[in-house]
Structure 1
């Protein structure tokens, strides 16, 4: 995939921002930034509905380039230029997230490096938090707990988290999910307790970025608590968090709902509840089951766990027949 490099693109845009040509006739303003923000909202909505597909990643990367190209298109105030860098960083962070979601981790790391450079030039704390928090998630999925915890610490130590407890909530919750890789029950529970406390202190009326929607009502906290307890093998606690997350997720968040449904099935299977687990797994929408890399992998893992728990049972045959309709090997 072609993308603007740090040397050829970001630095060039930074240089033009520092010494704008006097011959430019075009004036770039906050109206241009607002139009980019509308496109970012569309990217977030598509991600919530469909998840991280290649097309979404490519659109987000192209929009990041569009935001950078505006730096060269005319004169602008420093506020506008900072906002353009923030927009470019936001789009690039969505490209990064889409690559994580589709388990293309090497590509996600490349997006991450560009997003981090852009965020530094923007001086936008919220987008810095998003990028470093996503970095923690990337390393968690890669099975690198030390790197995941270190990246989460960068996000959690931004002064934004002291100004707005909702960001602190997300930081603690993602730290808990990463701590699940370390098998440290006490640390996970402490981090989740800190997240819950921060959520209760957060002002519900503050205006926040559109990507914080699921954090505001506690759905993201329940989702990350589910991930942490499932990793620890605390299946009863994981099931409780799964039910709460599914109750709180907005209807348009189909990707998260599918992931947490698959996790709920795993938690039920972990407790030996085979029939309920199969019924739950079958509720995953067929289009997401077949086309979303993370969900497909989870369902394959569910099939493996089911065969280990109840070999040669009718339940195994029932699940295999259903999974075949999704064209996945389960």
Structure 2
């Protein structure tokens, strides 16, 4: 066997059912999305990658490969120039082995970049970090407007790769290297959230493992909180409340929740939502009240990361209570928190408004008010109804419940006609 054979890439393609030609097509699509220019990879290009004849593709190709697979170029078996190849763990191995392999690959890349024998192309500084942070703010804005879209996930994944590529692009101080790891972790956590919001849970778990390791290397407490808190939300949506409590507890026990009550509040509000999934109304009330009290203690002028400032406020706290009571079957309280959330939502929170309005419709229908429920559901924009996986699923469930509780009624007919216009616009 050729000792340069790339077993990691070959194993990933086999596991996911890709031929050389079909994989080349996916990479070409990703390159065009990332660069705006078509690419010409074919089956022979992929065979060159698998055979190890191309050891380190160019930056655009690496970003495209990561967007398609959800794995870094190093985890896919490619080797940065000037480094000796090590045999990567095949993708079929368990999650712990994947994580150890990924961490080792990232650490090796960082060590090579920092070693005296590495040819430094330029000095990497905080201006490079600030440029990435600006791109991160753009990803956050897209998420609040559209939410859950695959292109947001792929863009965030590509930017995480860009941050890691800078580690080996030149010399940098320890502070800058830590900031680059933090930027990569932030992008990975946004990719994770987009995948959760789009119900692509396998992708979300891949992003989670990478994000957790990068956040550990950065030492950024706020990022650790974000990633573990997202993990709790992911497991809640997957119907695994025990795992959700465990993940959210990791976030809630971090030092940052003792330093800043706003982080403590978010952890408690998400704990309330998990209590809802576990059908524990007492736990919901207790956690929500504690979350509210913690928010009142928080200094509104304290410096906080952009992702926290962009979304967590009283509206989001009521949104989480709405989710909790809806899951628990207390539809009157769910409706109350839905109205509170909608009244407090900031204009840019378009995704959150669509989700809250849909949940309001569910709570009203469950109380027997089909007319009010349909009026609420019709306020959801067609784009969210047809393109956001979570909203689309909830509206499908709403339609089924409406037909079951109010069949052959004018309001049910109105809803059927309204959804037909959505499908025509999709």
TM range (shorter): over 0.9
Structure 2 stretches lacking a partner, 5+ long: 1-67, 76-101
Out of 24, 33, 46, the residue aligned to residue 142 of structure 2 is 46
Q: Does 1:253 align with 2:349?
A: yes
Partner residue of 1:307? 403
Structure 2 CA distance for partners of 1:8 and 1:54, relative to 1, 3 Å: farther
Q: Does 1:268 align with 2:397?
A: no
Q: Does 1:85 align with 2:177?
A: no
Out of 258, 270, 280, the residue aligned to residue 174 of structure 1 is 270
Q: Does 1:238 align with 2:334?
A: yes
Partner residue of 1:94? 190
Q: What is the TM-score of this pair, normalised by structure 2?
A: 0.75
Partner residue of 1:76? 172
Does the 8 Å contact 1:166/1:199 carry over to 2?
yes
Shift of 1:20: 5.2
Partner residue of 2:216? 120
Q: CA RMSD in A?
A: 1.5
Greater relative contact order structure (CA < 8 Å, 6+ sep): 1
- State the SS of the aligned residue for 2:423: coil
Shift of 1:310: 1.2
CA distance in structure 1 between the partners assigned to 2:104 and 2:151 by the alignment: 24
Partner residue of 1:107? 203
CA distance in structure 1 between the partners assigned to 2:199 and 2:403 by the alignment: 25
Shift of 1:12: 3.2
Q: How does 1:260-299 map to 2 (within 5 A)?
A: 260-299=356-395
Does the 8 Å contact 1:214/1:220 carry over to 2?
no
Structure 2 CA distance for partners of 1:115 and 1:216, relative to 1, 3 Å: closer
Structure 2 CA distance for partners of 1:130 and 1:7, relative to 1, 3 Å: closer
CA distance in structure 2 between the partners assigned to 1:70 and 1:12 by the alignment: 14
Compare the two structures and name the one with the higher helix fraction.
1
User: Which one has a bigger Cα radius of gyration?
Assistant: 2
Partner residue of 1:158? 254
CA distance in structure 1 between the partners assigned to 2:112 and 2:260 by the alignment: 34
Q: What do residues 163-186 of structure 1 show as CA deviations (whole Å, max 9, x unaligned)?
A: 000000000011111111111111
Shift of 1:14: 3.0
Does the 8 Å contact 1:17/1:81 carry over to 2?
no
Shift of 1:305: 1.3
Does the 8 Å contact 2:125/2:172 carry over to 1?
yes
CA distance in structure 2 between the partners assigned to 1:282 and 1:209 by the alignment: 35
Shift of 1:23: 3.6
Moved more, 5-14 or 300-309: 5-14
- State the SS of the aligned residue for 1:312: coil
CA distance in structure 2 between the partners assigned to 1:323 and 1:195 by the alignment: 37
Out of 132, 146, 169, the residue aligned to residue 36 of structure 1 is 132
CA distance in structure 2 between the partners assigned to 1:141 and 1:216 by the alignment: 19
CA distance in structure 1 between the partners assigned to 2:402 and 2:173 by the alignment: 60
